[in-house]
Amino acid sequence: MQRIVTLASLLLLSISVLAQSTDETAIRKLMADQAAAWNRGSIDDFMKGYWNNDSLIFVGKSGLSYGYTTALNNYKNNYNSLDKMGTLFFTLLKIDRLSPDDCFVIGKWLLKRKIGDTGGIYTLLFRKIGGHWLIVCDHTS
């Protein structure tokens, strides 16, 4: 009986670890896809990683803003040429699972540009919505 309980516990632990690993892989892929879209000059495709909702939250140098459309328009206004967009690099420093449907991500971003490089730190809240991981809150500095 003890052996069955031990095996069952190990099986549940393995399933949990596998799910966490699969989710982390999905988040890493989403961010790699975002960088690839940015580097192609496609802000629309870059934004596919964000929750398309009026409750999407952005915190940046201009303060707090809400909404997918606001974020999309801000990106298009601030990065309206390939020279301004440059080449985007993400370095993920930490992914913490907060719940089965929420992950907190910390990392660095870098834009290599002819007009001068820029970069900083980001914190992202990812939420699994409709079976897909999406950014619901982005604090970039």
Name the token pair of 56. Answer: 């999407």
Q: pLDDT tens, 61-116? A: 889 999 999 999 999 999 999 999 999 999 999 999 999 999 999 999 999 999 99
- pLDDT score of 16: 42
pLDDT band at 21 (very low <50, low <70, confident <90, very high): confident
Please give the average per-residue pLDDT across 25-33, as a whole number.
97
- pLDDT score of 20: 55
* Structure-model confidence comparison of residues 90 and 9, the more confident one: 90
pLDDT band at 8 (very low <50, low <70, confident <90, very high): very low
Residue 63 backbone phi and psi in degrees, to 5:
105, -150
Secondary structure (3-state) at 63: strand
* Residues of the domain holding 68: 2-140
Please give the average per-residue pLDDT across 41-46, as a whole number.
98
How many structural domains is the chain composed of?
A: 1
Question: The domain that contains 6 carries what CATH number?
Answer: 3.10.450.50
- pLDDT score of 17: 41
Q: pLDDT tens, 108-140? A: 999 999 999 999 999 999 999 999 999 999 999
- pLDDT score of 6: 44
Beta strands across the sheet bearing 87-99: 63-66, 57-60, 132-140, 118-129, 102-112, 87-99
Q: Which of 95, 103, 90 is nearest to 132 (CA)?
A: 103
Please give the average per-residue pLDDT across 45-57, as a whole number.
98
Pairing of strands 57-60, 118-129: unpaired
Name the token pair of 129. Answer: 């919505």
